[in-house]
Amino acid sequence: MTSSENTTLAASGPADAIYRSIVEHAIEGIFQTTPDGHYLLANPALATIYGYASVAELTSGVREIARQLYVDPARREEFIQIMHEKGAVWGFESPIYRKNGSIIWISENVRVIRDANGAVLYYEGTVQDISDRKHAEEQLRRAKTAAEEASRSKSQFLANMSHELRTPLNAIIGYSELLHEEAEEMGEKAFCQDLKKIEKAGKHLLDLINGVLDIAKIEAGKMEVHTEEFDVADMLQDVGSTIAPVIEKKGNRLVIEIAPEVGKMHTDLTKLRQSLFNLLGNAGKFTENGVVTLSARRQCEMDRDWIIITVRDTGIGMNNEQSSRIFEAFTQADSSTTRKFGGTGLGLTITREFCRLVGGEATVTSLLGKGSTFMIKLPARFEVPVQSTEIGAGVLRQLLHGAAAPEDESQPLVLLIDDDLTIHDLVKRFLHKEGFRTVGAQNGSDGLEMAMRLRPSVIVLDVMMPTMDGWSVLSRLKGDPYLANIPVVMLTMVDDKAMGYTLGVDDYMLKPIERVDFVGVLRRFCDQSNPGSVLVVEDDDASRELVRNLLEKDHYSVVEARNGLEGLERLADMVPTLILLDLMMPHMDGFEFAATVRKIPRLEKVPIVVMTAKDITSDDRARLEGHVSRVLQKGLYGKDELLAEIRTRIARVSPAPLMTAA
Amino acid sequence: MPKILLVEDNEMNRDMLSRRLERRGYAVAIAVDGAEGVTFAARELPDLVIMDMSLPILDGWESTRQIKLAPATAHIPVLALTAHAMAGERDKALAAGCDDYDTKPVDFVRLIGKVEALLGVVSAK
C-alpha cells in the first residue's frame, strides 16, 4: 500500500447521486469544517437551522465559526480539544447565534478526518436544532425543583404537626389509664370497659401518628442512622421472646431458626428491631393456628457480607397484585383488612424504608391461602452510602470538563451504567481493589456520553433502567462505529442471553454475580500487562514501521512480514494472538494469505484484521467473508481506533486468566 | 417509700404522672422548671429525679449537669424524659449525666420498670 491516502468525500458512479440526494434532503444539518473555522461543505438543512437563505450564503458568510456561530467562543475550543483527544463528539450541545442574532440550541455529532499520517484534514458531522427540547428540559427542571421543595415542606409540616398532636394525646391516654385503674379499684365494671376503649383508640391514634412522623422524617431526609455492633442470634431471641405472646394469641407457634455462622452485625439495632416487630406482628395477625418462622443466615455477595432475616407464616397470604403494593403507605392487601385486622398500614412502608436507610432491602413473596415470607436483607456492616447528588455532580463535572482526572492512567477504566446506586457502590468498591479505575453513569444517555468521551476499556451495563433501557444503550453502542469495539458486559437480573448476543454483547452475567467471575471477565477484556503478539503483514515499509511503533508502545510483541508468503513463513513457528493484514501486496496478496491461514487448523481461531487503502468492493467482501474478523479502511481510522480494535479482537479470543480471590 | 422528684413544666403531664406514681406508693415532690428542680433536689434529697428535658429557665440537660456536679446530689439517679423519640436526644441526655431515659408519650408500665431498676427495687408489683 501507499501512505499517501486521499480521503475526501468523493465517491464515483451512481452511488454519488444517492449520497448527494441524502445530503441535500436530510432533515439534519450536515457539514464538513476546517480546524480554523470555515465550511468545506454544508447542506440546505444546516443553512435553514442557522437562518441563512442558502448554503452559499452560509459558507461564504461564516468564515470564523468560533466567533460568528457559538454564543460562547470558548465552546469551539472545547470542541477542538475533544476532537484532538478523542477523535469524535456525540451530542455536543451549545447555544448558537442564527444569522438574525437570535439564539438557538444545537446538538452536534462530529468526528475528525485525518490523513494517513494522523494530521487533521477536517471535521465531519451533523447538527440538530434542539431548542424545543432544551426549553422543555428547563421547564421540567424548574417543575422538579418546585415539586421537591413542596415535598420537603410537606414532610416538615407533617413532622411538626405529628409532634404537636402527640402532646394532647399523651394526656388522653394517660388519664384514661389512670381512670381505668381507679375504676377497677372501685369495682365500676361498666366504666372500666369504656375507659379501656378510649385508651385503645388513643393508642391506635398514637401508633398512626408515630408512623406518619417516621415516614415524614424519612422523606424529609431527617431520619438518622445510629449503628452499634450486636450478636444477631441474641437480638433475634430477644425479639422472639418479646413478640411470642402476641403470636401465640391466635394459636400460632413461633419457631426461631438461626444459622450457626450468622455471627455479629453492625447496623441500626433500634430500627431493625422495630422492623422485625412489624413483620412478626403482621405474621401473627394474619395467621391462625399456624406456624410463624423467624430465621437468619449470613451470605457473601459481591465482596460483602449480608445478613438475611426472614419471617415466614402459614397464614392467609396474598395474591400477586396485593403483594406488589403491600409496601406502599396506607395500603393493606385489602381495604376490608383494616376493619378485620386493624393496623395502620404504615408498618411495612416504614420497615422497607428503614432497611433501605441502612443499605438493605425488604421484600415479600406470598401465595394466597398458603402464607407469606417477608425477607430483610441488610449489609452485615453498615457503611455510609455514596449520596446520589455526589454522583450526579461527578457526572456533571465529567460532562463539563471531559474526562475526570484518573488516579492511575495505566489502570484499565471500567464504565458502569446502572440506575441502582448500591450496585455502583459495590462494583466500585471491589474493582478499585482489583486495580481497575471506574466511572459510573446512572442512565443510558449519560452512559453513552461518557463512553464517547472516556473510551473505557470495558462497559458494564444493566438491562432494567428507566427511560432508556440497557438493550437500547447496547444497540446504540454497537451501532456506533466509534464505540462498537469497546467490549460490553451485561450485568443483569434479566436472563435473556439470546437477545444480548444478538445485539452484540461481549459477555453476559446474571445478578447476583460471583466477584471472582466478574473480575475474571473484566481482566480478560482489559489485561494489558501481556496483551499478546501481533503479526503485521504489510508491504509498505513506512506503514509497517508506524504500526510496529504503535503496537510496541502498547506492549504487544510484533512480528513483521512484507507479503503473504513471508507471512506464512513466520507462521510456521508461531501462533500470533492476532494478524494485521494489508490486502494489496506482491507475491501473495492478503486475500490469498487469509484463505490459506484459515485452512491451517492450529491458526483457525487467530483473528485477522484487514487494514487496507483499497476501496472494498462487494466482490472483495465475498472473498474475505469468513476469513477475517474486521476490515479497517486506512485513513478513516486513527491510531486509537486501530489499537482499540486490536485490543477488542484479542480480548475476545484470549481465554479467561486464572483468577485468585484477593 | 422511696421519694421521687418530678421536674415537669406541663401541668397536665405533671398532674397525671404524679398521681400515677403516688398510686404506686411513691412519695412525689414537684418542681415546675429546671432551676426549681436543682434547688429541690438539694433540699429534698429524693431517691430519684424524673426530669423532663424541655424546661423553662434551665433546661433538663443543664439541670442534670448541675445536680450531678453538686457533691450532695451527685449520687441521685436522674431519669430523663425526652419529647422526641430520637436517638440524638438520648445521647444528649446520657452525655449530660442522666442515668437512663424514656420517651414521651409516657408508657407508664415501661417507665415504672425503669424507675424500679434505678431504685434497685426487684419488683414493686
pTM over cut 0.80: no
| Residue closest to A485 by CA, chosen among A599, A596, A632 | A632
pLDDT score for A1: 43
Helices and strands of chain A, counted as H and E runs: 23, 22
For the cut 70, the answer to whether the pLDDT of residue A366 exceeds it is yes
pLDDT score for A445: 85
Specify the range with the lowest mean pLDDT, choosing from A351-360, A401-410, A560-569. A401-410
Helix (H, G, I), strand (E, B) or coil at A543: helix
Separation CA A423–CA A518 (nearest Å): 13
Separation CA A128–CA A96 (nearest Å): 11
pLDDT score for A32: 94
pLDDT band at A172 (very low <50, low <70, confident <90, very high): confident
| Residue closest to A277 by CA, chosen among A245, A317, A302, A300 | A245
Mean pLDDT of A608-615: 81
For the cut 80, the answer to whether the pLDDT of residue A389 exceeds it is no
**Nearest neighbour of A224 by CB, restricted to B10, B12, B86:** B86
- Whether residue B16 contacts residue A171, with contact meaning beta carbons closer than 8 Å, is answered with yes
Separation CA A522–CA A378 (nearest Å): 27
pLDDT score for A394: 38
Of the residues A162, A163, A170, A214, the best mutation for testing chain B's interface (the one with the most B CB atoms within 10 Å of its CB) is: A170
Q: What is the percentage of chain A residues whose pLDDT exceeds 90? A: 23
Task: Provide the mean pLDDT of chain A.
Answer: 81
Q: What is the percentage of chain A residues whose pLDDT exceeds 70? A: 87
Separation CA A355–CA A349 (nearest Å): 10
Do the Cβ atoms of A226 and B87 come within 8 Å? yes
For the cut 60, the answer to whether the pLDDT of residue B124 exceeds it is no
The C-alpha cell that represents A536 in the structure block: 503485521
Residue numbers in B near A169 (CB within 8 A): 105
Separation CA B100–CA B82 (nearest Å): 11
For the cut 80, the answer to whether the pLDDT of residue B104 exceeds it is no
pLDDT score for B42: 93
Do the Cβ atoms of B16 and A167 come within 8 Å? no
Hey, which residues 72-111 in chain B have their CB within 8 Å of chain A? 83-88, 104-106, 108
pLDDT score for A661: 32
Mean pLDDT of A13-20: 81
Of the residues A162, A178, A273, the best mutation for testing chain B's interface (the one with the most B CB atoms within 10 Å of its CB) is: A178
Of the residues A181, A223, A357, the best mutation for testing chain B's interface (the one with the most B CB atoms within 10 Å of its CB) is: A181
Separation CA A257–CA A236 (nearest Å): 9
Separation CA A608–CA A617 (nearest Å): 19
Q: Which residue has the higher pLDDT, A423 or B77?
A: B77
pLDDT band at A6 (very low <50, low <70, confident <90, very high): very low
Mean pLDDT of A388-405: 37
Residue numbers in A near B108 (CB within 8 A): 174, 177
pLDDT score for A313: 93
Mean pLDDT of A544-557: 79
For the cut 80, the answer to whether the pLDDT of residue A392 exceeds it is no
pLDDT band at A386 (very low <50, low <70, confident <90, very high): very low
| pLDDT, tens digit, 9 for 90 and up, residues A332-349 | 555 555 545 556 678 888
The C-alpha cell that represents A552 in the structure block: 510496541
Strand B3-7 relative to strand B48-52: parallel, antiparallel, unpaired? parallel
Q: Which residue has the higher pLDDT, A219 or B19?
A: B19
Separation CA A177–CA A195 (nearest Å): 7
Do the Cβ atoms of A170 and B19 come within 8 Å? no
pLDDT band at A408 (very low <50, low <70, confident <90, very high): low
- Whether residue A638 contacts residue A607, with contact meaning beta carbons closer than 8 Å, is answered with no
Do the Cβ atoms of A175 and B20 come within 8 Å? no
Separation CA A642–CA A609 (nearest Å): 10
pLDDT score for A293: 95
pLDDT score for B122: 46
Whole-number Cα distances in Å, A251 to A246, A248, A284, A406: 10, 5, 9, 63
pLDDT band at A401 (very low <50, low <70, confident <90, very high): very low
B22 interfaces chain A, CB cutoff of 8 Å = no
Helix (H, G, I), strand (E, B) or coil at B32: coil
Q: Which of A121-135, A482-496, A544-558, A647-661 has the highest mean pLDDT?
A: A121-135
Q: Which amino acid is at A288?
A: E
Mean pLDDT of A141-149: 84
pLDDT band at A652 (very low <50, low <70, confident <90, very high): low
**Nearest residue in chain A measured CA to CA from B105:** A170
For the cut 50, the answer to whether the pLDDT of residue A621 exceeds it is yes
pLDDT band at B79 (very low <50, low <70, confident <90, very high): very high
Cβ contacts from A onto B, under 8 A: 38
Of the residues A165, A167, A225, the best mutation for testing chain B's interface (the one with the most B CB atoms within 10 Å of its CB) is: A167
**Nearest neighbour of A174 by CB, restricted to B16, B86, B87:** B16
Question: What are φ and ψ of residue A345, in 5° steps?
Answer: 75, 10
pLDDT band at A637 (very low <50, low <70, confident <90, very high): low
Residue with cell 482499540: A644
**Nearest residue in chain B measured CA to CA from A162:** B84
Separation CA B125–CA B113 (nearest Å): 10
Do the Cβ atoms of B85 and A170 come within 8 Å? no
Specify the range with the lowest mean pLDDT, choosing from A188-192, A196-200, A506-510. A506-510
pLDDT score for A336: 57
Separation CA B15–CA A332 (nearest Å): 39
Mean pLDDT of A620-632: 81
Q: Under 8 Å CB-to-CB from A328, ≥6 apart: which residues? A: A349
**Nearest neighbour of B19 by CB, restricted to A166, A171, A178:** A178
Residue numbers in B near A178 (CB within 8 A): 16, 19-20, 23
